[in-house]
Amino acid sequence: MPKKKSNPLLEKTKILMKNRGYIEDEKRKSEDDKGEFLYFKAPDGMPVIVHCTFKNETTGVAYIRDMVKKFDKKKIKHRIFIGSGKVTRSALNELNEKGIEFIPADLVLMDILEHEYVPKHEILSEEEKESLLKKLKVPPSALPIIFTTDPVVRVIGAKPGDILKITRKSRTAGETIVYRLVVKEQT
């Protein structure tokens, strides 16, 4: 009997979530027979639900509203939508209003964190953040910025106000560490 091919988007999504420190929730997974959702536990123990779609059609607000209804039935607050194809402005607004994180499937499938020219990015914990700012004797706004639209910021799930520790390898300097404050891009 031939082995069933796995969906590359689902497999890469599992890797992405693992890189964020999330653990797949096997118990919840068995509850969902359709395989429409992936379930994880965040590092703080909170449940996370992910919906992946690999359709090349435009995703509109009606699709998003239907997905939100399904999310609401699951009663999980931390929600992520990973979609391919175009997403309308109205659909993006709906995701934003409902507090659903949107990650384009291209970013998940490319595996940008594994590229040799992409340095290691880490989100500092609140304690690390306080310690760094105290050590540098500066407010967060004095740090260089990185926008929420940056592909790595989107993939690792950083939010405005987070501070990223970026570790770059160099043949001449060895290792360089820089810090960036995550900010929302003004449109």
What pLDDT is stored for residue 142 in this prediction?
A: 95
If phi > 0 it is left, if psi is from -120 to 50 it is alpha, else beta; for residue 36 that is: alpha
Q: Which residues contact 109 (CB under 8 A, 6 or more apart)?
A: 8, 9, 12
How many Å apart are CA 28 and CA 182, to the nearest integer?
32
How many Å apart are CA 86 and CA 63, to the nearest integer?
12
pLDDT per position in the chain (187 positions), as tens? 555 566 788 888 888 898 888 998 877 664 554 557 889 998 888 999 999 887 778 889 999 999 899 888 888 889 999 988 889 999 999 999 999 999 988 888 887 888 888 999 999 999 999 999 999 999 999 999 999 989 999 888 899 999 999 999 888 888 999 999 999 987 6
Starting at the edge strand found earlier in the chain, the sheet holding 145-147 runs: 120-123, 163-170, 174-183, 145-147
- Domains, the chain, ranges and CATH? 8-110 (3.40.1340.10), 113-183 (3.90.940.20)
State the residue for tokens 């964190």.
113
Is the torsion defined by CA of 48, 19, 111, 166 positive or negative?
A: positive
Query: What φ, ψ does residue 70 adopt, rounded to 5°?
Result: -65, -40
Q: Is the whole-model pTM more than 0.85?
A: no
Token pair belonging to 119:
């340095």
How many Å apart are CA 86 and CA 92, to the nearest integer?
10
